[in-house]
Amino acid sequence: MDFEAIEVAIRRQALALAAHAVETRLNADTSDHAAPALQCPCGKLARYAGRRGKKFQTALGPITLERAYYWCGACHRGFCPRDRSLGLDDTWLSPSVTRMVGLTAAMVSFEESSELLRELAGVTVDAKQVERTAEALGAEIAEDETNHVEPLEEPASTMYVGLDGTGVPVRRSEVEGREGKQPDGSAKTREVKLCTVWSAEGRDDEGIPVRDEGSVSYSAAIESAASNDRGDVSEFAWRVERETTRRGFDRAARQVSLGDGAPYIWNTVSEVLPDAIQILDRFHAKEHLSEVSKAIYGAANGEAKAWAKARYVELDEGKIDEILVALQAHAPTCEDARQCVGYVSTNRERMRYPEFRAQGLCTSTGVVEAGCKVAIGTRLKRTGMHWTVAGANAIIALRCAKLSGRLEDFWERRSSARMAAA
């Protein structure tokens, strides 16, 4: 027998002994039979109906607990007080295993999560149970995120917020009747709207702001950015307000918002963060000009590259009027140029790049673009994945909490709430 096999065998034996010790100790305590009758969650009295056993999966291995069981004749439901006090109500996974499931499922697929739990912890939870547990946790986290918006820290002197959207594949039932980009006009994705907050006090060798390590936080969901008929703030606007409040954005000396030019981004920022400096992502602006150059001259034409390069220089030097003149010269015969005239005219105050650079401000949404990939794409846009909106939002909430360093706070609040309810 090699060393690895010996190590595995000893570990399994040690865990089995520990599980047996925990099981014995818990089953020796019958104080959960507190009275002949207890109040049921429905408000009526539930009668003691003996002790019942149930197998639970713990980090030590499976254990069987005997618990006092109460039956309510009014609502025809039973419950075990001990389950709630131990954090085992409505589940057969212990709190520690539930945490393992949440952590792994936030980072990898449900199948991979199940495999990791088995290989690394010796805990058997099938992929479907991982999915159910992770989505239930994510729904809890989403609710917790809504209810806890108190500032968590002192802000940096300059705080940034970036808003963006990215599509995730969903089940056909989630896109029925929705317009999309498929050849037949249908949709196969729903857009996740992401709010990213960070600071960038550091500078690189060229004096360009650099994102501060550990300063990025995320909040996202598939939700609307449109106000309703009553003029109420949109779901996404509330999300942006919650996330920026948590980060102390409104208390920063300088508040900066970055976006790719989508109207809903500026509408949301103007509504929720009226004091923020609005900056159009410089690379998106150049991308628009590049597309126009190809539309005018053809993608392979050398004149297209020369025209685009000249516009880039004007953009970096803040010569917006020169860009508009160049675009307007082609607007009568090129639809892309005509549309770009409107794009530049609408965003010219957000394209004051020489002024922004002189103030030491970021002018690109690299952090936000990376956030769409890291927070959303890496986990939810893998081959073969098709989500329900509820399932996607749950995993997004779980993943954002993990990447933002807020999972531990959630666990503490969750544990405290369960103890208070017991």
- Between the alpha carbon of residue 386 and those of residues 168, 174, 176, 231, 237, the distances in Å are 8, 10, 14, 33, 26
**Chain-centre distance for alpha carbon 110:** 17
Q: Are 292 and 334 in contact (CB under 8 A)?
A: yes
Residue 192 β-bridge partners: 166
Say yes or no to pLDDT of 276 above 70: yes
Is residue 231 scored above 80 in pLDDT?
Answer: no
Taking the CA atoms of 336, 337, 339 and 345 in sequence, report the sign of the dihedral they define. Answer: positive
- 69 neighbors 49 (Cβ within 8 angstroms): yes
Q: Which residue has the higher pLDDT, 56 or 186?
A: 56
DSSP state of 368: H
For the stretch 152-198, pLDDT in tens is 778 999 999 999 999 999 999 999 888 877 887 788 999 999 999 99
* Radius of gyration over every alpha carbon of the chain, rounded to an integer in angstroms: 28
- Tell me the per-residue pLDDT of 371-415, one tens digit each, with 9 for 90 and over: 899 999 999 999 999 999 999 999 999 999 999 999 999 999 988
Domains of the chain: 3-143 (no CATH), 155-279+368-402 (3.30.420), 284-350 (no CATH)
Mean pLDDT throughout 62-84? 93
The reported pLDDT for the residue numbered 217 is 95
Span 210-228, average pLDDT:
90
* Phi and psi angles of residue 62, each rounded to the nearest 5 degrees, phi first: -70, 140
Phi first, then psi: give them for residue 65, nearest 5 degrees. -110, 140
What mean pLDDT is reported for the chain? 92
Average pLDDT (22-31) is 93
Could you report the per-residue pLDDT of 298-335, keeping only the tens digit for each?
987 889 999 999 999 999 999 999 999 999 999 999 99
pLDDT score at 227: 74
Share above pLDDT 70 across residues of the chain, in percent, rounded to a whole number: 98
| 418 touches 87 (CB < 8 A) | yes
| pLDDT exceeds 80 at position 228 | no
CA gap 237, 298 in Å, rounded: 40
Please choose, from the candidates 317, 312, 197, the residue with its C-alpha nearest in 3D space to the C-alpha of residue 257: 197
Token couple for 4: 């690895």
Contacts of 312 (CB under 8 A, 6+ apart): 286, 289
- Give the per-residue pLDDT at 4: 78
Q: What confidence score (pLDDT) does residue 418 get?
A: 77
Q: What angle do CA 416, 419, 422 make, to 5 degrees?
A: 150
* 280, 259 Cβ separation under 8 angstroms: yes
Helix (H) or strand (E) holding 187: none
Total-model pTM? 0.89
What three-state secondary structure class fits 232? coil
Answer whether residue 216 shows pLDDT above 80: yes
In this prediction, residue 422 carries a pLDDT of 62
CB neighbours (10 Å) of residue 21? 12
Cα dihedral: 102, 108, 112, 117 (round 10): -30
With CA atoms as reference, report the closest residue to 308 among 336, 275, 350.
336
Side chain identity, residue 91: T
Residues 240-267: b if buried by 16+ CB within 10 A, e if exposed: bbbbbbbbbbbebebbbbbbbbeebbbb
Res. 107 pLDDT band, cuts 50 70 90: very high
pLDDT tens digit sequence for 328-369: 999 999 999 999 999 999 999 999 999 999 999 999 878 888
The Cα 68–Cα 80 span in angstroms is 6
State the DSSP string of 321-335. Answer: HHHHHHHHTTTTT-H
355/112 Cα distance (integer angstroms): 48
